[in-house]
Amino acid sequence: MSQLLHTMIRVGNLERSIAFYTQVLGMKLLRTSENPEYQYSLAFVGYGEESTGQAVVELTYNWGTEKYDLGTGFGHLAIGDEDIYARCAAIAAAGGKVTRAPGPVAGGTTEIAFVEDPDGYKIEFIQMKSATQGLG
């Protein structure tokens, strides 16, 4: 059996990124490590531990690299949320950048929103259906 453990993204300022993912998105800082020999630092953030089956985000800071070309291959991280409208309002109030206001996806009924982290990575919020809304 396989399990998705984490997604790694390179960041230009580790402390700024940790603050965004923990204070703005509400994730927990799970662990950090430094590798002086190869000049990089790691921070793992998430809503739960990998050991519980939850995927997390690995923030990688390569010492001295302040900015990356994000390219066109990476799309976004996706996070399910019970109230994307309240989540986006809280993100905006905390100084975060909401790039697509919450609402139905074009041609469908799924409600989504997009925000951008300090390095320009896109994060999609998808409205989760509650048990009272059914599964469809």
Helices (H) and strands (E) in the chain, counts: 2, 8
- In the numeric block, which tokens belong to residue 132? 């009272």
93 three-class SS? helix
3-state secondary structure 19-52: HHHHHHCCCEEEEEEEECCCCEEEEEEECCCHHH
The set of residues, in sequence order, having a beta carbon less than 8 Å from that of 19 and lying 6+ positions away, is none
Q: What is the DSSP letter of 128?
A: P
Q: Which of 34, 50, 58, 124 is catalytic?
A: 124
Is-catalytic flag, 124? yes
Active site residues: 124
